[in-house]
Chains A and B, each alone.
Chain A
Amino acid sequence: MLQILTKDGATTTNLGDEVARGAVITDKGEMLFPNPNPPMLDAGKAAKPKEEAKDEGPVDLFAPTMRTALYQAMTLSSIVGLGVLCPTNPAFHNMLTTFSLAVVAGYQSVWGVKPALHTPLMSITNAISGVTAVGGLLILGGGYLPHTIP
């Protein structure tokens, strides 16, 4: 402090310095007390303007409810439509059931994953896509070396 305010044993007033300027009350008979540029002690504490609750009047729920209902109607009837288009193959219906339930299970379990673990999620889905090897195995042909190329 003294080093800032003195020079060669005599007091100086360097008004450009933040510390010296805050300590000065008068200089050469001039009242300088309220420092016009005080150091920023409470930066970031500026009060946020309060958000006023908006009064939007009574809400009309008809349109959004109708939209949800129409989406659901389309989804459900498209399942029936699939059944009409593929009537003969029972394997398809079994697989469709498996597929739909698996999508629901996958959707739910993925939303449960923490954001911090999204990179491991990428790796693990990459890893389990290795079961594509099963697809290859199921149609594997030939002997010690493949030779059943048509």
Chain B
Amino acid sequence: MFRRPNDPKEYNYLYGIPGAAAIGGLLAAHSAGVPNIYQCGYLFSSLCCIGGIGGLASQNTARVGNALGMTGVAGGVVTALASLGLPAPLMTQALGLLGGASAVGWYVGSRVAVTELPQTVAAFHALVGVAATATSIASFMTEPDPDSLHRVACYLGSGIGAITVTGSVAAFLKLSGRLKKGYDLPFKNVLNRPLFAANLAGLAAVVTSPSHAVGLAAVCGTAAASATLGWNITNSIGSADMPVAITVLNSYSGWALCAEGFMLNNPMLTIVGSLIGSSGAILSKIMCDAMNRRIDNVIFGSYAELDGEMAAITGTHTETSVSEVADALANSKDVIVVPGYGLAVARA
């Protein structure tokens, strides 16, 4: 996408070697019947995901990081498949789902322009949220007598996941320009506190009540309440603040993943989830600092419809022409080129 014609030839496929070696080794150990090899599979996958983010510390290592991230996800999925020892029909179902979803993801991903990246990221966050909510509710259903840790993790996974779903859908619709009018919920300015209180009450119910039915109702209830909350909060954020909203939702999807890790006792999900969670939180903080605003002001400060005096445009602007720019460039001593949105639009 950003390749220049005189760039040296790259051999990025060689980064497939470590992935193939690690995954192949894992499968060999699996078929040889080595006990507890799966923890090591999860460990190398988690380390690859950490390395994937660490690789972005400089442009030189960014490609290595990208390859490590892919190895991490592939390793995690293969480890999970190997550790379960599924019967053939179920394995077919799993592989069919994985293959079909990968094909769809590849198709969507290959068609995305750079300028559409924010809304694509938002759309995929929504899917992570759906997965987290569904996994949490299903895990609660299938566990006949969940302990308190399992209950809390399911509750949090379901709630945080549901916020991510509707919030990301709202962000996607706004950023892609499909939501022209905005669908405000009734009482949108007073809705957040009661919903938040309902979520807290549900948490208390799920911890204290021994009944499975009450717990399940609470887990499903928090999904509904959080979904409303997610839509209401994100729909109230102005489109200009949407990048911050997306990084916050990114953070949420990470913490939902962490809750899944606690729920299913899977260290990789916890590690990757906390990576994503802290990454989203830090990016939100950086952006808010750059805008000289506080994060709570961005997330909860709903924008008002401007009218009358507030809407009056003040200040001056300077227009330039091609010849003036050429003149300025010819006469200047230093020129600083700041690549930005325009570069992405021009596909320069």
In the bound complex, residues from chain B placing their C-beta under 8 Å from that of A146 are 93
- Asked if A39 CB lies within 8 Å of chain B CBs, one says no
Q: A89-B147, A99-B258, A132-B131 are in contact. Are A125 and B250 (CB under 8 A)?
A: yes
In the bound complex, residues from chain B placing their C-beta under 8 Å from that of A94 are 267
- Asked if A139 CB lies within 8 Å of chain B CBs, one says yes
In the bound complex, residues from chain A placing their C-beta under 8 Å from that of B270 are 95, 98-99, 102
A67–B124 alpha-carbon span in the complex (Å): 40
Contact A129 B278 (CB under 8 A): no
In the bound complex, residues from chain B placing their C-beta under 8 Å from that of A121 are 53, 56, 279, 283
Contact A89 B149 (CB under 8 A): yes
Contact A123 B121 (CB under 8 A): yes
Contact mask A107-123 → B, CB, 8 Å, 1/0? 10111111111111111
CB-nearest residue of chain A to B130 = A132
Which of A115, A116, A126 lies in contact with B124, CB distance below 8 A? A126
In the bound complex, residues from chain A placing their C-beta under 8 Å from that of B226 are none
- Asked if B322 CB lies within 8 Å of chain A CBs, one says no
Contact mask B54-94 → A, CB, 8 Å, 1/0? 10111100100110011011001101110010110110111
A92–B266 alpha-carbon span in the complex (Å): 11
In the bound complex, residues from chain A placing their C-beta under 8 Å from that of B73 are 127-128, 130-131
- Asked if A137 CB lies within 8 Å of chain B CBs, one says yes
Q: How far is the CB of A89 from chain B (nearest CB, A)?
A: 5
Which of B139, B261, B275 lies in contact with A139, CB distance below 8 A? B139
A125–B65 alpha-carbon span in the complex (Å): 11
Contact mask B87-129 → A, CB, 8 Å, 1/0? 1011011100110010001000000000001100100110010
Which of B56, B132, B262 lies in contact with A117, CB distance below 8 A? B56
- Asked if B167 CB lies within 8 Å of chain A CBs, one says no
CB-nearest residue of chain A to B58 = A114
- Asked if B282 CB lies within 8 Å of chain A CBs, one says yes
Interface residues on A, range: 35 or more
A119–B113 alpha-carbon span in the complex (Å): 13
A110–B50 alpha-carbon span in the complex (Å): 9
Contact B131 A125 (CB under 8 A): no
Q: How far is the CB of A42 from chain B (nearest CB, A)?
A: 12
- Asked if B209 CB lies within 8 Å of chain A CBs, one says no
Which of B62, B93, B132 lies in contact with A140, CB distance below 8 A? B93
CB-nearest residue of chain A to B276 = A125
Q: How far is the CB of A140 from chain B (nearest CB, A)?
A: 6
Contact A110 B53 (CB under 8 A): yes
Contact B265 A91 (CB under 8 A): yes
- Asked if B247 CB lies within 8 Å of chain A CBs, one says yes
Q: Tell me the interface secondary structure of chain B in the complex.
A: helix
Contact mask A133-150 → B, CB, 8 Å, 1/0? 111111111111110001
- Asked if B288 CB lies within 8 Å of chain A CBs, one says no
In the bound complex, residues from chain B placing their C-beta under 8 Å from that of A15 are none
Q: A92-B262, A131-B272, A132-B135 are in contact. Are A112 and B59 (CB under 8 A)?
A: no
A124–B283 alpha-carbon span in the complex (Å): 13
A91–B94 alpha-carbon span in the complex (Å): 27
Contact A132 B132 (CB under 8 A): yes
Q: How far is the CB of B58 from chain A (nearest CB, A)?
A: 6
Contact B69 A144 (CB under 8 A): no
Contact A106 B275 (CB under 8 A): yes
Q: A138-B266, A142-B93 are in contact. Are A126 and B139 (CB under 8 A)?
A: no
- Asked if B215 CB lies within 8 Å of chain A CBs, one says no
Contact mask A77-101 → B, CB, 8 Å, 1/0? 0000000001011011011001100
In the bound complex, residues from chain A placing their C-beta under 8 Å from that of B271 are 98-99, 102, 105
Q: A120-B62, A129-B254 are in contact. Are A109 and B50 (CB under 8 A)?
A: yes
Contact A106 B56 (CB under 8 A): no
Contact A118 B121 (CB under 8 A): no
Q: How far is the CB of A79 from chain B (nearest CB, A)?
A: 16
Q: How far is the CB of A114 from chain B (nearest CB, A)?
A: 6
Which of A95, A112, A117, A150 lies in contact with B141, CB distance below 8 A? A150
- Asked if B163 CB lies within 8 Å of chain A CBs, one says no
Q: Which of B273-310 contact A (CB under 8 A)?
A: 274-280, 282-283, 286
Which of A113, A116, A135, A142 lies in contact with B90, CB distance below 8 A? A142
> Top 5 A-B pairs ranked by shortest CB distance?
A143-B89, A106-B275, A106-B278, A102-B271, A102-B274
- A-B pairs with beta carbons under 8 Å apart, 15 shown: A89-B149, A95-B267, A105-B50, A109-B53, A117-B59, A118-B283, A122-B246, A124-B65, A126-B125, A128-B73, A131-B268, A132-B132, A135-B264, A136-B135, A139-B142
